[in-house]
Amino acid sequence: MKALVIYESMYGNTEKVARAIADGLRDGYEVTVADVATMPRAFGVDLLVAGGPTHAFGMTRPSTREQARQQGEVRPGAVDAGLREWLVCAPTLGGVAAAAFDTKVDKPFLPGSAGRRAQRQLRRLGCRIVRPAQSFLVTGTAGPLAPDEEQRARHWGAELAATALQLHKV
């Protein structure tokens, strides 16, 4: 069984979450982790996990990525393309098991979720959503991750693997 975890990350926090999720998936899947900027192909995967940072209540856009660049040093290539652009270019993924996640600032009652928006787009591409979108928290715009979020992401990945594998057997 093969899984692809694709992520968009401005400051490196979402990448840490993606890699922790991948670690959790490894008991049941051969996992590839890819930066969305490389425009990875999702062909031949049994499980697709996609995530990115929440900007302006949803997935990033060119303008919000540029604003992030102006707020601090971002990863090379992070401004060029994001999860939104990858999902627009993605082929129909009929029946592929999928889940989405995001990172967002740890502020009570802060609305919006890139993960929920990505999940809707994955569903439109024909994916079977196996778990609701999950948000992982950062302490500020540039991070770092809130305490224990990497461990929580690893645990979520393991739960995701178990759920997807169980659904695959049905």
Q: What average pLDDT is seen over the chain?
A: 95
Condensed to tens digits (0 to 9), the pLDDT of residues 124-134 reads: 999 999 999 99
Nearby residues of 107 by Cβ (< 8 Å), 6 or more positions away: none
Q: Is the pLDDT of residue 108 over 90?
A: no
Whole-model pTM: value is 0.95
